[in-house]
Amino acid sequence: MSKEKTLLNATETDPNKILPMKYLWARQYYKNGVANNWTPEEVPMQNDVELWKKHGGLTPDEKHLIMRNMGFFSTAESLTANNIVLSIYRHVTNPECRQYLLRQGFEEAVHTDTFIYCCDTLGLNPEEVYAAYETIPSIKEKDEFVVEITKSLLDPTFKTDSTEGMQKFVHDLIGYYVIMEGIFFYAGFVMMLSFARQNRMVGVSEMFQYILRDESIHLAFGSDLINGIVAENPKIWTAEFKRQLSVNIKKGVELEEAYARDCLPNGILGLTADNVVEYVRHIADRRLERINLDKIYGANNPFPWMSEVIDLKKEKNFFETRVNEYQIGGNLNWD
Ligand code: FE
Ligand code: MN
């Protein structure tokens, strides 16, 4: 009789035996990821290149917003990939979850490739784009915060076999999945998807739409992993621990608000910094509720069309581009 599988500290179960499965949700997210397969080179960029290079084609404010988002996402995708491979994968030995983590790692590689493709096709200066996380304060502060709240896992002696160790691991998972992928990506998603709504920079906007679709699954997997660890180890979920987690998420929201204000010094594309800030607060409440923490803001969703994009299933694509062709399975299940 073999030992029952657990999410953490599975020292007596075989990490190579994925069958029989216990964590069917991890399996489902793997299938959802495969059904969404895409590559950036399939997205035509000719109109984007013409508009980007045409004198007066984009306003200085529009170019500023695009460059800020290129600067943030270009390195954030690699940071996420490194976190999965170097930290999370080491400690989550369950084979169903590892199968999903491998898929997520591949998707982060596709996202990293997206920004290589954008730099190449638009002719952006890679020295400028890839230095932004050191030179642009609103980006640097987001990345430094994620590194700061997730650094203990990089200690090679870190273990999850105590209450403190499990709390630290969940704390860091919230840094990776809820704050980085669930909050720090979303002001950028609203901004970049707003271009396609005006039928401009449609190729870049479409790629951000595919990334958003992938990230929604990453966030759902991460939230289920966090909730699953807490359910198996309820003693870690103390009032003081929950308070610390809420403080971190609140700090993340403040940094994302500062980033939105830096990207949008003037209202453009039907967006204002205030609207984007309200959106960030709205999604932060959804993230809190998803991991069983109390919501903080009570903000409305100023961009209901974002949920339509995220909830897109087999219907006609919102931007009338080619998403459906990438959906090679009928098993999409949005959170
Ligand atoms: Fe990503
Ligand atoms: Mn991701």
Average pLDDT value over all residues in the chain: 92
pTM, entire model: 0.93
Say how many Å lie between the CA of residue 14 and the centre of ligand 1.
29
Percent of the chain scoring above 90 in pLDDT: 88
pLDDT tens-digit series, residues 271-285: 999 999 999 999 999
Give 43-46 contacts, CB < 8 A, sequence gap 24+: 43/203, 43/206, 43/207, 43/210, 44/203, 45/117, 45/121, 45/122, 45/203, 45/204, 46/203
| Ligand in nearest proximity to the CA of 215 | 2
Q: What is the reported pLDDT for 261?
A: 98
Say how many Å lie between the CA of residue 173 and the centre of ligand 1.
15
Contact 172, 87 (CB under 8 A): yes
Say whether 117 is catalytic: yes
Q: What is the reported pLDDT for 316?
A: 39
3-state secondary structure of 335: coil
Band (314; pLDDT cuts 50, 70, 90)? very low
Q: What is the reported pLDDT for 315?
A: 39
Q: What is the reported pLDDT for 331?
A: 43
CA distance 207 to 190: 13
pLDDT tens-digit series, residues 10-44: 999 999 999 999 999 999 999 999 999 999 999 99
Query: Among 108-117, 258-267, 322-331, whose mean pLDDT is lowest?
Result: 322-331
Superfamily of domain 22-325: Ribonucleotide Reductase, subunit A (1.10.620.20)
Cα dihedral 97, 105, 277, 227, rounded to 10, equals 10
pLDDT at 60 over 90: yes
pLDDT at 318 over 50: no
Q: What is the reported pLDDT for 317?
A: 47
Say how many Å lie between the CA of residue 163 and the centre of ligand 2.
27
> Where is pLDDT greater, at 55 or 333?
55
3-state secondary structure of 40: helix
Catalytic residue among 29, 30, 117, 176: 117
| Ligand in nearest proximity to the CA of 111 | 1
| Ligand in nearest proximity to the CA of 108 | 1
pLDDT tens-digit series, residues 164-220: 999 999 999 999 999 999 999 999 999 999 999 999 999 999 999 999 999 999 999
Say how many Å lie between the CA of residue 304 and the centre of ligand 2.
22
pLDDT tens-digit series, residues 293-303: 999 999 999 99
In DSSP notation, 235-257 reads GG--HHHHHHHHHHHHHHHHHHH
CA distance 307 to 299: 15
Band (93; pLDDT cuts 50, 70, 90)? very high
Say how many Å lie between the CA of residue 249 and the centre of ligand 2.
18
Say how many Å lie between the CA of residue 212 and the centre of ligand 2.
9
Q: What is the reported pLDDT for 2?
A: 66
Say how many Å lie between the CA of residue 56 and the centre of ligand 2.
34
Domain boundaries, the chain: 22-325
pLDDT at 82 over 80: yes
pLDDT tens-digit series, residues 226-272: 999 999 999 999 999 999 999 999 999 999 999 999 999 999 999 99
pLDDT at 1 over 70: no
| Ligand in nearest proximity to the CA of 114 | 1
Say how many Å lie between the CA of residue 215 and the centre of ligand 2.
5
